[in-house]
Structure 1
Amino acid sequence: MKRFLTHPIFPILSEIVTKENLESYVIGGFVRDLFLERESKDIDVVVIGSGIELAKKVAAKAGNTNVSIFKSYGTAMLKYKGFEVEFVGARKESYQRESRNPIVEDGTLDDDQKRRDFTINALALSLHKDNFGELLDPFGGVEDLQHKIIKTPLDPLITFSDDPLRMMRAIRFATQLDFKISAVTFEAIKTNKDRIHIISQERIIEEMNKIVMSPMPSIGFKLLDESGLLDIIFPEFQKLKGRETRNGISHKDNFYHTLEVLDNLCCHSDNLWLRWSALLHDIAKPKTKKFVKGIGWTFHAHNFIGEKMVPKIFKNMKLPLNEKMKFVQKMVSLHMRPIVLAQEVVTDSAIRRLLFDAGDDIDELMLLCEADITSKNEAKVKKFLDNFQLVRQKLKEVEEKDTIRNFQPPISGEEIISTFNLSPSRVIGDIKTAIKDAILDGEIQNNYDDAYQFMLKKGEELGLKAVGKK
């Protein structure tokens, strides 16, 4: 592997390690990704001794490089030519049942490799010049890479009980790398699933977001479901699972439908929050499901109920309660609108209203809606997608003509007050809404003069007298 350690940090590391006669290795994910030919910007260096002291010497040699020191963890980190290099002393760990935070002692390389989560992350390459680039692989990690298998170096029951976050990491790596989790390892996840309760929600959502951002997130969510973890960490989503049949009529399994939508979307967008919108777009279907005789299964208003569910889900999962959440709410609320338009004759009025409600997020909404077409009927899918292209063209034409996206009504509430000499009251909002609706319905153009004349006419209908006409 010597020829692959080409980053400029490695000659510096090797020179210092050799000069100081240290035993030091590059270990973990960077080595794994070398074998997988994946780009990695994070280098983990383990040394028998003080990782902090080695980091200081490397920084001094590299020049103009600051070291961030974390004394309580015994680690140090520096940035060098686009890479982050983290240093730690080799250690061994032991755990107490009520915590995933280990009791740490100085250890050997063997100790350090044993504490690693998976065999594929326990690979180490020597940095000493005498055996620079030599691979140390005591648990067969290279073979597991070749066979695309995830398993633990030691007994997985103990590994996952000690640090239950590793269960999430196993599923995350399986999803990111398209690997299989060994049968013994997966059974240990099932056995230890309830241990996930001792992990902070912040750490859980960090792993889940990585699953969501994978090329095919459905792999991870199916594993979470099969392991029993999903019902613990995301019960609202697990409730989508299953089909019900009544009078010979079944509805689709919304769990698998949602995962298909998410996978479809991932081919076109790496926007984390749009992917979360796909995950949650049908989240209210279990709450709104109803069988109507003569019609079949309905999920009336599931988009609006789903929009209201988003804040609680985000709060429980420690996702951000800011504009990112509001974006997801908007997508969930509006996701049915373009689909309805694609089934009907598209009017300028309907397009204006969609543009007004979606604003700058219209393109993301269209991506979500196109991903939502999961029928197995190829002709039906083609028809929908063709119709979506017509909707997109109509959106472009109306936007160019009427400038509706994110528009504000040309007449302000203050001008309505001054024109009719009003005190603050409900009628002001009624007039503003009437102006907005007139523009969106195409009754008047989106400009000040038309809006002003419409305001005077509306005021007259309401028995108001203008005191300051133009």
Structure 2
Amino acid sequence: MPNANEDNPSALSQVQRRAVSELLRVSPVADDLARRFQEAGFALALVGGSVRDALLGRLGNDLDFTTDARPEDVLKIVRPWADSVWEVGIAFGTVGCQKAGYQIEVTTYRSEAYDRTSRKPEVSYGDSIEQDLVRRDFTVNAMAVALPEKEFIDPHGGLDDLAARVLRTPGTPEESFSDDPLRMMRAARFAAQLDFEVAPEVVAAMKSMSERIEIVSAERVRDELNKLILSVNPRKGLRLLVDSGLAGHVLPELPALRLESDEHHRHKDVYEHSLTVLEQAVDLERDGPDLVLRLAALLHDIGKPRTRRFEQDGRVSFHHHEVVGAKMTKKRMTALKYSNDMIKDVSTLVELHLRFHGYGTGEWTDSAVRRYVRDAGPQLERLHKLTRSDCTTRNKRKASALSRAYDGLEERIAQLQEQEELDSIRPDLDGNQIMKVLGTGPGPEIGKAYKFLLELRLENGPMGYDAAVAALKEWWATQS
């Protein structure tokens, strides 16, 4: 390890102790692999995020290595040794494998840069670890530990930046972001994940080069955005995306919220409100980060700019912004190549996020509660969390009243669920029974009859077989 920074020796000595502890933990696997590379005539070093996380005391079971061996040589070395091997990233010089519970990636020294008209990086292999480290995104990710001798390699002052909790690039940020524009989004993601500050010159380059992000594939942008949103402090990263202009290219609906006044909270705009709702949704998570909930919280009000109206009494209204917002959510998530299931889940939550406010003073009928549960479907628990998160008023009395009202709604739902199995609401007669009663075969009429009985079920609760048959026959007579 290098000598401690004179300005902050205690911080560096602390991270060095953490690193020693973490490296000792992974040594049996890492050293064994390194010896195999050494015997084959190649070098191996733990690198990048693995070294950074070791220094932070948070190294997990994902280990990243770099080597001068070409991918075909790496495969020859790891195949007899690993529990399993995959070649998904081999076109980019990366071989993946699993050993003793560790997920390992070994990447050949490389240099990659974008052609200005291409969405994919051009990979060329390097000959030295120094050449490899200089092309890394940030100095805190440009450190390595050569194995098995455990020589610490830090040509760009990454350890000092780690102690100072600052993100800088090994070369100029303009060169780094020209090589791979996605690194601009990574700056925001690491700021959110690690609670680091981004160096002023890096922020300046992000602002001047933000349009370069458009040459990056939607899938890579989406994956980076997901990591940011799932981080410990997504608000910090999202602010940087907006302030740098990047959000204007990848998620333009977010900066569009900054100029809109929220009708319930005139002291702050919808942009700030949405970031607060996201934070409050995070606080309600119980089983780890929930991407669907977080996306819904962030996007729930994106329909407001398009629906803003200034009323005669001076109020600002956003009628049906939840419906417009759901459509905008589908369009943006489709452009970012999210799965159809995730698009459906998030847009459903956006569309339903205001439904509770119809409950208001607790006057919902059983029928309205059934419809609320039916429309939410499998997103009901998330809808509970989103609705509670959407209360950002500083008026404690109003906040308490809203919380009590929602408590009441959840109690009503629980009572009806116990009585009526709300989670699987369906008519009292199934399709076969409907056809038997009506004396007809499959066709559009059966679908209409099913829908009629479902509406009765939602309105009245369980009817029983005889009552349902009577109602169906009466309805069928009017259809004839």
Q: Indicate the TM-score class for this superposition, using the shorter chain for normalisation.
A: 0.7 to 0.9
Q: CA–CA distance in 1 between the matches of 2:50 and 2:237?
A: 22
1:125 alignment partner, SS class: strand
1:153 alignment partner, SS class: coil
- Whether 2:287 is the aligned partner of 1:271: answer no
1:107 alignment partner, SS class: coil
Which residue in 2 is equivalent to 1:176? 193
* Residue correspondence of structure 1 range 337-376 to structure 2 within 5 A: 337-376=355-394
Q: CA–CA distance in 1 between the matches of 2:85 and 2:260?
A: 58
1:126 alignment partner, SS class: strand
Of 346-355 and 13-22, deviating more is: 13-22
2:105 alignment partner, SS class: strand
Query: Aligned in 2, Cα 1:103/1:66: closer, same or farther, shift over 3 Å?
Result: closer
Task: Quote how far apart the aligned CAs of 1:341 are.
Answer: 1.8
Q: CA–CA distance in 1 between the matches of 2:283 and 2:66?
A: 38
Which of 121, 128, 136 aligns to 2:141? It is 121
CA RMSD of aligned residues (A): 2.8
- Whether 2:182 is the aligned partner of 1:162: answer no
1:300 alignment partner, SS class: coil
- Whether 2:251 is the aligned partner of 1:234: answer yes
Q: CA–CA distance in 2 between the matches of 1:428 and 1:200?
A: 46
Q: Is the 8 A contact 2:22 2:59 kept in 1?
A: no
Q: CA–CA distance in 1 between the matches of 2:232 and 2:88?
A: 35
Which residue in 2 is equivalent to 1:308? 327
Query: Aligned in 2, Cα 1:169/1:456: closer, same or farther, shift over 3 Å?
Result: same
2:259 alignment partner, SS class: coil
Q: Is the 8 A contact 1:410 1:446 kept in 2?
A: yes
Query: Aligned in 2, Cα 1:91/1:216: closer, same or farther, shift over 3 Å?
Result: closer
The total of aligned residue pairs comes to: 455
Q: CA–CA distance in 1 between the matches of 2:278 and 2:419?
A: 34
Q: CA–CA distance in 2 between the matches of 1:424 and 1:286?
A: 46
Matched residue type, 2:322? N
Of 222-231 and 399-408, deviating more is: 399-408
- Whether 2:303 is the aligned partner of 1:284: answer yes
Once the two structures are superposed, residues 96-133 of structure 1 have per-residue CA deviations (whole angstroms, 9 ceiling, x without a partner) of 444462452432121111111100101111203xxx22
Which residue in 1 is equivalent to 2:104? 85
Q: Is the 8 A contact 2:330 2:343 kept in 1?
A: yes
Runs of 5+ in structure 1 lacking a partner? Answer: 465-470
Q: CA–CA distance in 2 between the matches of 1:142 and 1:105?
A: 26
Q: CA–CA distance in 1 between the matches of 2:178 and 2:370?
A: 56
Which of 43, 64, 67 aligns to 1:23? It is 43
Q: Is the 8 A contact 1:342 1:391 kept in 2?
A: no
Which residue in 1 is equivalent to 2:32? 12
Matched residue type, 1:154? G
Once the two structures are superposed, residues 191-215 of structure 1 have per-residue CA deviations (whole angstroms, 9 ceiling, x without a partner) of 1111112111111111011111112
Once the two structures are superposed, residues 143-164 of structure 1 have per-residue CA deviations (whole angstroms, 9 ceiling, x without a partner) of 2111111110111111112211
Which residue in 2 is equivalent to 1:468? none
1:391 alignment partner, SS class: helix
Q: Is the 8 A contact 1:216 1:266 kept in 2?
A: no
- Whether 2:428 is the aligned partner of 1:383: answer no
With structure 2 as the length reference, what TM-score do the two structures score?
A: 0.86
1:33 alignment partner, SS class: helix
Q: CA–CA distance in 1 between the matches of 2:348 and 2:173?
A: 42
Which residue in 1 is equivalent to 2:278? 262
Q: Is the 8 A contact 1:52 1:74 kept in 2?
A: no
Which of 338, 344, 356 aligns to 1:319? It is 338
Which residue in 1 is equivalent to 2:161? 144
Q: CA–CA distance in 1 between the matches of 2:106 and 2:209?
A: 31
Which of 447, 471, 475 aligns to 1:454? It is 471
Q: Is the 8 A contact 2:83 2:100 kept in 1?
A: no
Query: Aligned in 2, Cα 1:403/1:95: closer, same or farther, shift over 3 Å?
Result: closer
Task: Quote how far apart the aligned CAs of 1:45 are.
Answer: 1.6
Once the two structures are superposed, residues 361-380 of structure 1 have per-residue CA deviations (whole angstroms, 9 ceiling, x without a partner) of 21111111111111122222
Q: Is the 8 A contact 1:91 1:104 kept in 2?
A: yes
Which residue in 1 is equivalent to 2:6? none
Matched residue type, 1:82? G
Of 391-400 and 276-285, deviating more is: 276-285
Q: Is the 8 A contact 1:355 1:404 kept in 2?
A: yes
Matched residue type, 1:357? D
Q: CA–CA distance in 2 between the matches of 1:72 and 1:432?
A: 54
Once the two structures are superposed, residues 172-226 of structure 1 have per-residue CA deviations (whole angstroms, 9 ceiling, x without a partner) of 1111111110111110111111111211111111101111111222211111110
* Residue correspondence of structure 1 range 179-198 to structure 2 within 5 A: 179-198=196-215
Once the two structures are superposed, residues 219-261 of structure 1 have per-residue CA deviations (whole angstroms, 9 ceiling, x without a partner) of 1111111001111111222222213599xx9585111111111
Task: Quote how far apart the aligned CAs of 1:418 are.
Answer: 4.9
Query: Aligned in 2, Cα 1:68/1:304: closer, same or farther, shift over 3 Å?
Result: closer
With structure 1 as the length reference, what TM-score do the two structures score?
A: 0.88
Q: Is the 8 A contact 1:338 1:369 kept in 2?
A: yes
Q: CA–CA distance in 2 between the matches of 1:372 and 1:325?
A: 20
Q: CA–CA distance in 1 between the matches of 2:475 and 2:86?
A: 68
Once the two structures are superposed, residues 379-428 of structure 1 have per-residue CA deviations (whole angstroms, 9 ceiling, x without a partner) of 22222122211211111001111222231212345654553457989876
- Whether 2:95 is the aligned partner of 1:76: answer yes
Query: Aligned in 2, Cα 1:463/1:388: closer, same or farther, shift over 3 Å?
Result: closer
Q: CA–CA distance in 1 between the matches of 2:355 and 2:315?
A: 21
Q: Is the 8 A contact 2:242 2:254 kept in 1?
A: no
Q: Is the 8 A contact 1:349 1:441 kept in 2?
A: yes
